[in-house]
Amino acid sequence: MEGSSASLMVRAETRERECWHCSARTGLALVCGQCEAPQPLAAGVDLFAVLGLRRRLVVDPDDLERRYHEASRVVHPDRHQTAGERDRTFSLAASAAVNRAYRTLRDPIARGRYWLELHGSPLGERNNQVPPALAELVFETQEHLAELRGASDPGAARESIETAYADIDARLRALVAELEARYAVWDAAGGETSDALAELKRRLSEIAYLNTLRDDVDETLDALRTPS
């Protein structure tokens, strides 16, 4: 969408924006550079733009945190407590947007999901199908869990489930690391080809599936640790 006429229009419109309070040009700024009044969020602005970033899959975590802190310092409601009601309303909305942007962009998985949303191809909430690449790991884990339930010696079964947890965790980390490596490749190639989006989607579903599995195993382990 970047470079399309719609986004150009948004950019043109936002460049024209004026502060509601002192009429200074504000562009996309969250607060007016002149009078510090918080501004309403510009329509059509994405979460990258909220923190002054270009749309890119690769995000530098330190730079992101620095931007987040800078933005928070100027928009947070604590900074506008003594101002009028309108300032406080805009501050609240802008602050919520800044928080959402940081929360979404700092995590490569959430960022990937958001990328799909931005490109009109969101990852569904439900995906019950076992991704083929994970079939073996999934079935092994389910076997361990079944063993544990019927185990006469929970100690031994617990060991195997702890091993399973470590396996899943390692696999998950590897998948996320691979994903981030792909981000750099896709960014270099433009990032929005249908092939790239399809692969992103596949990788994110695998990760989502493993995440759920890891949580299940973790819950089982938690239950073992605390006798009810």
Q: Is 45 in the site for another protein (CB under 8 A)?
A: no
Tokens of 50: 């909220």
Q: Is 163 in the site for another protein (CB under 8 A)?
A: no
Do 141 and 160 meet the contact criterion of CB atoms below 8 Å apart? no
Residue 166: its H or E element: helix 154-188
Closer residue to another protein in complex, CB, 28/93: 93
Tell me the chain's radius of gyration from C-alpha atoms.
23
State the minimum distance, in angstroms, from the CB of residue 188 to another protein.
29
State the minimum distance, in angstroms, from the CB of residue 8 to another protein.
26
Closer residue to another protein in complex, CB, 15/69: 69
Q: Is the dihedral of CA 197, 198, 199, 202 positive or negative?
A: positive
Please tell me the distance from the alpha carbon of residue 104 to that of residue 18, in angstroms, as a whole number. Answer: 28
Q: Is the dihedral of CA 116, 119, 125, 131 positive or negative?
A: negative
Look-up of token digits 């620095």: 66
Coil, strand or helix at 38: strand
Binding track, positions 67-106, relative to another protein; x by CB under 8 A? --x--xx--xxxx-xx---------xx-xx--xx-xx---
Do 193 and 102 meet the contact criterion of CB atoms below 8 Å apart? no
State the minimum distance, in angstroms, from the CB of residue 38 to another protein.
12
State the minimum distance, in angstroms, from the CB of residue 195 to another protein.
31
Closer residue to another protein in complex, CB, 107/192: 107
State the minimum distance, in angstroms, from the CB of residue 85 to another protein.
13
| Contact footprint for another protein (CB under 8 A) | 65, 69, 72-73, 76-79, 81-82, 92-93, 95-96, 99-100, 102-103, 226
